[in-house]
Amino acid sequence: MVIKNTYLQLAQIITGALVGILLTIHMVVMHLDAILGFFGIVNDTSWSSMMIRARQGIWAGIYIALLAFGLFHALNGLRNILMELNLSPRAERILTWFMIAIGLIFLAVGTYVPLALLGK
């Protein structure tokens, strides 16, 4: 028995875990100042503070990674659901390339803001 697309299933699991980790970092730093204050960590969520963080390379990297992993996880999951329709091999190839194209377009558009802020 040969398992089809094992590497894609493994990538689905890994990207799901990475999205969870990066989203947790984002939520803690950006939105949970009350909980951080409880632990004695001062977290400024003012506009100027967020703009300072946005101009740091590590945050641009985190947001771009979150976008890339989230896009892959979502689009590969949607592709897997649609593949259960027992499409023809040609339709499967078209679907796969369509998902890749959509993912690359959204990734290109979504990386514009972090990179633009990084350049300021």
* pLDDT cut 90: percent of the chain above it: 51
Give me the chain's average pLDDT, please: 86
Report the pLDDT value the prediction gives residue 8, as an integer from 0 to 100: 87
Model confidence band, residue 1 (pLDDT cutoffs 50, 70, 90): very low
Report the pLDDT value the prediction gives residue 43, as an integer from 0 to 100: 65
Q: What is the pLDDT of residues 61-95, one digit of tens each?
A: 999 999 999 999 999 999 999 999 989 999 999 99
Q: What angle do CA 42, 44, 47 make, to 5 degrees?
A: 175
- The residue whose two tokens read 């977290």 is 43
Q: What is the pTM of this model?
A: 0.80
| Helix, strand, coil tally for the chain in percent (to 5) | 80, 0, 20
Topology annotation, domain 6-118: 3 helical TM bundles of succinate and fumarate reductases (1.20.1300)
Model confidence band, residue 108 (pLDDT cutoffs 50, 70, 90): very high
Burial of 19 (0-12, 13-18, 19+ CB in 10 A): buried
